[in-house]
Amino acid sequence: MLLSERVMQVRPSGVRKIFDLAAKVKNPINLSIGEPDFDIPVEIKEEGIKWIRAGFNKYTPSGGIPELREKLLHYIKGKGIICDDVIVTAGATGGILLSFLVTLNPGDEVIIPDPYFVLYEYQAILLGGKPVFIDTYPDFKLREEALRKAITKKTKAILINSPNNPTGAVYSKEELEMVVRVAREKDLLILSDDIYDKFVFEEGLRNNYLGQLYDKTLTIGGFSKTWGMTGWRLGFVAGPKEIIQSMVTNQQYVFSSINSIAQKAGLLALDYNTDALIEAYRRKRDLIYEGLKDKYEVEKPKGAYYIFPRVPGDDGDTFVERALEKNLFIIPGSVFSNRKSHVRISFAASEENVLKGVEILRSMV
C-alpha cells in the first residue's frame, strides 16, 4: 500500500461532491454553498489591485506582514479577547491545521460537539489526533454532563464553533462559561472557531467569545465570511505567545507564506463595515425558517447562514437525492454528523432562490 494509514481514514468531502454535481446542472437552486452571496466590497478589491500594480507580489514573512499582525492584534483585543500574539494564516482552515499541528501529540483527543464542520475531524486525524464527539441533538446546545463524560486522560483540547456550521446555533454565555469552567479544571486547551462571529441575529448573543473568558484559548477567524473574501484565503489565529510563535515557525514548512495581496487588502477590510450586507441575512433566515417550521422539525438558527432541519424518515442522504431530482442542491447532514437525520441548507443565496427552495422543500413532505 502506497498511501499512509492516516489518509486511508479520510473520505472525500460530501460538500465538494454536491458542488461538483451543481456545476453540471443549468440554473440549479443552489442552497448548498457555505460562502456569502455578496461580492467583496469594491474598495477592498481596488486595494488588492493597487498592491498588485505596485509590485507587492513576492513572498511575505511566515507569520504575516507586520502591519497586518499588529492591526489584527488590536482588532482582536478590542473585542476583549485575551491573547499575546497573532499569526496570519491560509484562511481559518489553515489556522485550524496549524493549531492542531503544534499542539497535538499522537493519540491526543480533541472534543468536538456534533454536528460539526467536516474538516475538524479529518484535520485532527491527519495530524495524529483523535476526534471525540459529544452529541448536542435535538436542540444543539452544549451540556456539561456530555462534555465531562467525553474527557479522558488523553484529552488535549475542546473545539467550539459558534455560530455553528451546520446548525446555525449560537452558544449562550452560560454555555461558554461552562466550557471554560471544565477546561480550566482539567487544564485543557480551547480552540474557538469564530469565523461567523459577525453573523449573529440575536442581540443578546452578540460579542460573546470564549477568548474573553480563558487565556488558554486559540481564537480562530478570517476574512472569508465577514468580507466575502473566500477565494483570497486569509485567516488568523490569536492566543498564547508560545503557541503562536511555534505556529509561525511551522508555517514555514506548511504554507511558507500567505497571499501577499490579500494581506494588504485585509488591512483595509478591518476598517470596512459590512454590517448592512450581513443584516440582509436576518431577513433570509426569517424567510426560510418561517417557510419550513410547520413542515419540519427545525431549530431557528441564531447565527451563521445555515438551517439544519430534521427530514421525514430520518434519512437525509435519500432526501438530498430526491431534492437533486427537483434541481435543489442541499447537503446531507451525515457530512457533518454521526447521524443522518438532518440536512444542511444554506440561505447564503438570493431571496428569490431561498423562496424557490422553500417551495420545493414544502412540496417534499
Rounded to the nearest angstrom, the gap between the alpha carbon of residue 1 and the centroid of all alpha carbons in its chain is 34
Among residues 205, 239, 269, the one where a domain terminates is 269
For 19-59, the pLDDT digits (tens) are 676 667 777 899 998 899 999 999 999 999 999 999 999 99
Residue 266's alpha-carbon distances to 195, 237, 239, 256, in angstroms, are 15, 15, 20, 19
pLDDT grade, residue 1 (50/70/90)? Answer: confident
Among residues 269, 293, 328, the one where a domain terminates is 269
The C-alpha atoms of residue 61 and residue 256 are separated, in whole angstroms, by 8
CATH number for position 64: 3.40.640.10
3-state secondary structure 24-90: CCCCCEECCCCCCCCCCCHHHHHHHHHHHHCCCCCCCCCCCCHHHHHHHHHHHHCCCCCCCEEEEEC
- Shared domain for 256 and 289, answered yes or no, is no
Assess whether pLDDT exceeds 70 at residue 222: yes
- Shared domain for 278 and 357, answered yes or no, is yes
The C-alpha atoms of residue 38 and residue 351 are separated, in whole angstroms, by 12
pLDDT of residue 157: 98
Q: What average pLDDT does this structure show over 265-290?
A: 97
* Range(s) of the domain holding residue 159: 58-269
Q: Is 342 helix (H, G, I), strand (E, B) or coil?
A: strand
Tell whether 45 is covered by a domain: no
- Shared domain for 68 and 207, answered yes or no, is yes
Average pLDDT, the chain: 95
- Shared domain for 25 and 87, answered yes or no, is no
For 340-354, the pLDDT digits (tens) are 999 999 999 999 999
Query: At a CB cut-off of 8 Å and minimum separation 6, what does 193 contact?
Result: 92, 96, 117, 159, 160, 161, 162, 220
Overall domain count for the chain:
2
42-53 and 260-269 helices, crossing angle to 10°? 140
CB contact at 8 A, 81 and 236: no
CATH number for position 26: 3.90.1150.10
- Shared domain for 69 and 218, answered yes or no, is yes
Assess whether pLDDT exceeds 80 at residue 12: no
pLDDT grade, residue 308 (50/70/90)? Answer: very high
Task: Look at residues 195, 181, 16 and name the one whose alpha carbon lies nearest to residue 96.
Answer: 195
Residue 8's alpha-carbon distances to 2, 84, 97, 104, in angstroms, are 10, 38, 18, 20
Tell whether 50 is covered by a domain: no
